[in-house]
Amino acid sequence: MDKLAEIAAVMARHVSKDGFHATAIERVTLARSSTVTMPMPNVYRPQLCLVAQGQKEVTLGEHVFRYAPGRYGVVTYDLPVTGQVTAATPESPYLCLFLDFDPVMLGQLALRVPPQSGAPSQPIGKTVSDAGAGLLDAALRLLRLLDDPAALPVLGPLAEQEILYHLLAGPDGARMRHITSGEGRVAQVGRAIAWISKNFRDRFSIERLAAEVGMSPSSLHEHFRAVTAMTPLQFQKQLRLQDARSLLLVQDIDVATAALRVGYESPSQFSREYRRHFGEPPARDIARLRASPGLAVIA
């Protein structure tokens, strides 16, 4: 059995139902879907996403990232994305490993791993690459600890550090270091992302946001778009619409109330933008999600 097949086998033993599943390994979540899904919004945290079986697509702004078995993605900021499982069956379900990055562990390791020469042409906050043998070996060692609880507290941190080492030493190393950096334009964009994520329900101007993070409005606009593939106001809109969809799905409230709660002053404008983003008016979209929960697995 090759490494990727063994990774999928370990994951399959520990997740028998569709959805997201926390594990005994801190910061590790496993995802499973036995069917293709409709596009679903999500906010990716700084993390590694490794697909072991099945396929999915993740859209960030105008960028579409395609995952197949053995491909991994690196996210370096909190980013609103849309994910969709595109290949999965009950016999061969989509299986994915998510590892949230520990910034302290990552920062300590980054000091010991020499940076690669050169830097990525764009500091976009998400990439997808083919996993090398070293990364797959490390991921398998980490997952095997789910079957060895006694060894997990001792060997778990070592396996996690090995995964981070391969990421830092690989093609995504420069982007990984952005997570630990508190200086430079990309770090300022990171603070802008955090500020919008906290205040997305409130109105703000690009001038105010620029002042909050110590940049000129033009510089903020340029660098923010390079990192997130969106303008700050587009970023805010995605967060508002995702939040509203969650409110409508979970709470028994009407469309106008949801619109006001997430910061829209006009319910009609909210409905127009919701339809453009999700493909259907709010009421119809929520009815579809409730009628087919198996198609609404977040990827």
CATH code of residue 261: 1.10.10.60
- Residues 167 and 24 placed together within one structural domain of the fold: yes
Q: What is the pLDDT of residues 160-189, one digit of tens each?
A: 999 999 999 988 888 888 777 766 777 888
- Residues 75 and 144 placed together within one structural domain of the fold: yes
- Residues 219 and 88 placed together within one structural domain of the fold: no
- Residues 150 and 284 placed together within one structural domain of the fold: no
- Residues 76 and 174 placed together within one structural domain of the fold: yes
- Residues 220 and 255 placed together within one structural domain of the fold: no
Q: How much is the pTM? A: 0.86
- Residues 167 and 273 placed together within one structural domain of the fold: no
Tokens 């980490």: give the residue.
142
Crossing angle of helices 103-110 and 152-169, in 10° steps, is 60
**H helices, E strands: number in the chain:** 12, 10
- Residues 148 and 254 placed together within one structural domain of the fold: no
- Residues 162 and 242 placed together within one structural domain of the fold: no
- Residues 173 and 252 placed together within one structural domain of the fold: no
Q: Which domain holds residue 283?
A: 234-296
List Cα–Cα distances, 80 to 52, 127, 187, 247, in angstroms.
Answer: 23, 14, 18, 16
Distance CA 173, CA 113 (A): 9
- Residues 74 and 149 placed together within one structural domain of the fold: yes
Q: What is the pLDDT of residues 188-235, one digit of tens each?
A: 888 999 999 999 999 999 999 999 999 999 999 998 998 888 999 999
Q: What is the pLDDT of residues 78-104, one digit of tens each?
A: 899 999 999 999 999 999 999 999 988
List Cα–Cα distances, 24 to 12, 66, 76, 89, 144, in angstroms.
Answer: 15, 29, 24, 27, 11
- Residues 26 and 154 placed together within one structural domain of the fold: yes
Counted domains in the chain: 3
